[in-house]
Structures are given as C-alpha cells and as structure tokens.
Amino acid sequence: MFPLIRASLIATVVTLAALTPAAVAQAAVLTYVLDDVWLLPDISHPGGAAAPMSGSFTWTYEEGDFENGAGEFVELDVPWFPDDIELAATIELTSIEITLPGKYHDLGVDVTMRLLDPLALDQSSPIDTIFSAFEIEQGITRKGHFISGAIVPVVDQCVADLDGDGVVAFTDLLSILATWGSCPGCPEDLDGSGDVGFADLLIMLSAWGACP
C-alpha cells in the first residue's frame, strides 16, 4: 500500500507544481562522507595491511539541476600519505579522482573511485571495487584496489519532522505543499536551496516514519 500512497503523493505534488510560478533557481549544498572506505595494496606492490581512507565533501547545485553541480572536499585523509600536503580532487556524479598536483620527489597520489550508482540526494553510492584503484607513493610505492566503501549523503532524518511530533508523516507533507515555491529560510526548505520543491519532497519521503 505504501508505494501506492507515495506514488499518489508525488502525482499530487507534480500537479501542484505545474500550477506554481517558476522560482529563480538558488544554490543548495549537500554534504557527503566517505563511509567504510578501505584500500588494500596488491601482493605485487607490498605495503602492509589494508588501510582506511576518510573524508567529506560538499556538492553545490541549483534546485532542479542536481546533475550539473560541483563537488569540493572539506576533509580528506589518504592513507600512507602526509596530511600536510594539499591534494587535488575532481568529483563527478559517478567517479572521484584524487591526485597530487605538481612534482615532488618520492611523493605521488593517483586515486580513482568509480561508483556503482551516481551521487543522489537520498541514497548511498557504493564504490565499484572492481574498477576503483590507487597508486600512492611516499618513499615506497603502493598500488592496489578498494575492498569496501560507499559515498553517503548526510541527511538528518529529523529535519523532515516539521511539526516535531517524532514522526515524519502527512502533517509534515502538508507543510511542504503549503510552502511550495520560493521560501528562503523556511523550515520546509530541507535542502537549503531557498525553494521548497521536489528535492525537499524526496528528502521527506526518504525519512518517512518514526524519527529516531
């Protein structure tokens, strides 16, 4: 029954949105974290046991144009490499490239993370452990592959509990519909874009139910 209800809600919102004047697109920012990401050197390039890579990055986009957003790391910790040397990163919907710009003696970073699913507002993107690889040099060279990990959006489930009753439900949905359109600073603007729209609806539906 729930899928039918969700489909009906989305259909209702689509109808209402069609009657709402278009608002000027504003920037929204979503944060992602590297979750349980582990790198393992190959036997042919020994360098010890597997080690974790951690960090977080932001994805800035315009409402309704998530795919053409831009990513930037806020924190990044690459194993077997000094923390005080700045790295360059290219973040796309289906891949992340991390490199060391410039030339350094006995130092180098070339990390490629391929994602099984593209970055999304409300779901994790597992790392493709078959086609993701790394080469990290600090005195010795370590080449290898990823053995686990995902890119996870940071979404506070309780932010969608607009009436504060401990449950994300129909009353919260009604608040979204009542403020649909341009609404800077409104609590219904769950993604912080300045507009209440489809992105906020998706965040709410992903958090539907009891708010821990």
Confidence of residue 5 (pLDDT cuts 50, 70, 90): very low
Q: What is the mean pLDDT of residues 176-195?
A: 84
Is 172 in contact with 187 (CB distance < 8 Å)?
Answer: no
Q: What is the mean pLDDT of residues 12-25?
A: 48
Highest mean pLDDT among 19-23, 40-44, 140-144: 140-144
Q: Please enumerate in sequence order all residues whose Cβ is within 8 A of that of 35, keeping only pairs 6 or more positions apart, or say none.
A: 124, 149, 150, 151, 152
Distance, CA of 89 to CA of 45 (rounded, Å)? 24
68-119 confidence digits (pLDDT tens) = 999 999 999 999 999 888 999 999 999 999 999 887 777 899 999 999 999 9
Q: What is the mean pLDDT of residues 13-23?
A: 48
| Alpha-helical segments (H) within the chain | 2-18, 170-178, 198-206
The pLDDT score that the predictor gives to residue 164 is 85
The identity of residue 161, as a single letter, is: D
**C-alpha torsion sign, points 160, 94, 37, 138:** negative
Is 128 in contact with 151 (CB distance < 8 Å)?
Answer: no
